[in-house]
Chains A and B, each alone.
Chain A
Amino acid sequence: MFSEVSAPQEGSCSLLLCRPGSEDQEPSVFDRVKPAYSPCSERFKLGERSFNRQYAHIYATRLMQMSPLLTERAQQKWGADVRIRKLCDLQMGEQCCIVGTLFKHMELQPSILKEISEEHNLLPQPPRTRYISESDELILEDELQRIKLEGNIDVDKFVTGSVIAIYGAEKNDGKFTVDDFCTADLPPQAPRTTLSSDRFVLLLSGLGLGGSHADSMLALQLLVDMVTGHLGDQGEQSGASTISRVLLAGNLLSQSTQDKDASTKAKYLTKKTQAGTVDAMRLLDEMLMQLVSSVPVDVMPGQYDPTNYTLPQQPLHHCMFPLSSTYPTLQLASNPHQATLDGVRILGTSGQNVKDIQKYSSMDSHLEILENTLRLRHLAPTAPDTLGCYPFYLKDPFILEECPHVYFSGNAPSYQAKRITGAEGQEVLLVAIPEFSSTQTACLVNLRTLECEPIRFSSFSAGDDEESEMNISH
């Protein structure tokens, strides 16, 4: 545990409280551990972007890539002689297995066609937190046909775009009655090298710079000071030297910097004003420079950061970081991001995929949704239906081909971590990184033991003082 590594030693207070050392006394220097780092997110980088294609290609390649995996899983689960049929070859009443992409028909899903339809005269629907309802239906589509599903399947837990295998039979009314289903489950995992000493990675997200509330600025400065070794005595400094990398998972800028009023206001009112993002980026650059001078940092963009909206989000441009981009330790990464650190494979997103699934299913916990996406073997099944996505045609880059050791998603409402094991012995640490601007919590992942612990930088805010004052009065 990190807290044990950096525990204050006996009599160490004297080090902090003693006189500054003389010239011949060498101050103790702790070298930061340098792990072998290699980024593997080439497939999320887009070269030339052409939007002259329809999204049918992504679904077609998704099905092309996943159906051999699913037929294998289906044979493992229901016997090697299970009949796997295409929807066009279905016989009435025959127990068989079908493989396809799920489509969830939701009444409350905002539809642009309904909005602009004049016959209905509907006002645009106000945005809701959840678009599920009792009347939702699941439909399975393969290359040629689609069929409605009913029976032993929980409609609320599935989202559009997941590829699964279903076992059951078609009944008289043209619907397929489900007896059982199976997902592609965890992909194969490369074994990780055992490390001799503890090495930590700090996972952080949701900094929310440039926002109206600056509550977390002190906490952020404390974090930077701790990681760079400016806090504490020798025990804590040697502990901080075991932090080998810092990963910022999105939402570095606050949502309030995304002010769209500038486009609607008159020009004479907005002429001299700057966009909110300019100052926020300067703050971010200054903060990053402090970090980057001491520890390698991976910066992933998030929902409110100045990069493209569709997934995969491209790395932030280095011209926005004039101070910190001069250091080679700054790594501007895409969202989703994948890297190998000392043989440990780390994969994760800034949380847009999890939040989108949360809107269209009954699952609440970010960790549960994260596990679900891992079992479905797809990072963002709702892309491109409800989550913006680039129209890929060759391959679907969100399909997990290799199982990561650490799988995270940023900007969760609270910290959650869990370790799961797969059927073939894969071990994955799932981490839901909390939003720093509201929880002031970051996560430390131990690469040797694959454990995660939260680290909280709380400070006394104005609200606390008021509470204590209230208690005094009778």
Chain B
Amino acid sequence: MTAKRAALITDSYKVVKRSRREEKREKRAPSPPQKDTEPRPLTAREIELQELRQFDQDWRYGPCTGISRLQRWERAAQHGLNPPQEIRDMLLSADIDSDYTHCLWSDYPL
């Protein structure tokens, strides 16, 4: 049956799309709250661990895998590269904590 005007298949589509889009817009309406609060502050332990990770990745002191951080610090000191003394203090104060003593990649195999 021919309609009075040229009826396109897309006529039906449009309707469907519109409703879908409207539905989506309705769903999107409650947008997440704006980030006006600051990120959660890092604990002291996390700051120290981050510093130790920076020490691991510092290229001047050579590769970090396979040796403990204290051994790497001693090696750097022996070769006159002046590694920061705070790192050594941190490592000596927490010598049973394996997160402190071992390097970033210590969980990975050789």
Contact = CB atoms under 8 A, between A and B. Distances in A.
A105 interface: no
Nearest to A57: B63
B66 A57 contact: yes
B59 A393 contact: no
B78 A54 contact: no
Contacts of B59: 143-144
A391 B66 CA distance: 10
A51 to B, nearest CB: 9
A393 B67 contact: yes
A345 to B, nearest CB: 23
A290 B58 CA distance: 58
Contacts of A56: 62-63, 65
Contact of B62 (A52, A60, A391): A60
A64 interface: yes
B86 interface: no
Contacts of A394: 71, 74-75, 78
Interface in A36-55: 52-54
Contacts of A57: 62-63, 66-67
Contacts of A68: 80
Contacts of B63: 54, 56-57, 60
A40 B16 CA distance: 90
A395 B78 contact: yes
A143 B79 CA distance: 15
B66 A61 contact: no
A64 B81 CA distance: 9
A143 B58 CA distance: 11
A75 interface: no
A308 interface: no
B75 A65 contact: no
A54 B79 contact: no
A64 B66 contact: no
Given A54-B110, A394-B78, A61 B71 contact: no
B18 interface: no
B81 to A, nearest CB: 7
Interface string A383-401: 0000000010111000000
Contact of A393 (B71, B80, B81, B110): B71
Contact of B75 (A52, A143, A393): A393
A143 B57 CA distance: 13
A143 B81 CA distance: 14
B66 A52 contact: yes
B25 interface: no
B60 interface: yes
B60 to A, nearest CB: 7
Contacts of A64: 62, 79, 81
Interface in B44-92: 59-60, 62-63, 65-67, 71, 74-75, 78-81
Contacts of A60: 62-63
Contacts of B66: 52-54, 57, 391, 393
A61 B66 CA distance: 14
Contacts of B60: 143
6 contacts: A52-B110, A57-B66, A57-B67, A60-B62, A393-B71, A394-B78
Interface of A: 52-54, 56-57, 60-61, 64-65, 68, 143-144, 391, 393-395
In the A-B complex, list the 8 residue pairs whose CB atoms are closest, starting with the nearest: A60-B62, A53-B66, A56-B63, A64-B79, A393-B67, A394-B75, A143-B59, A60-B63
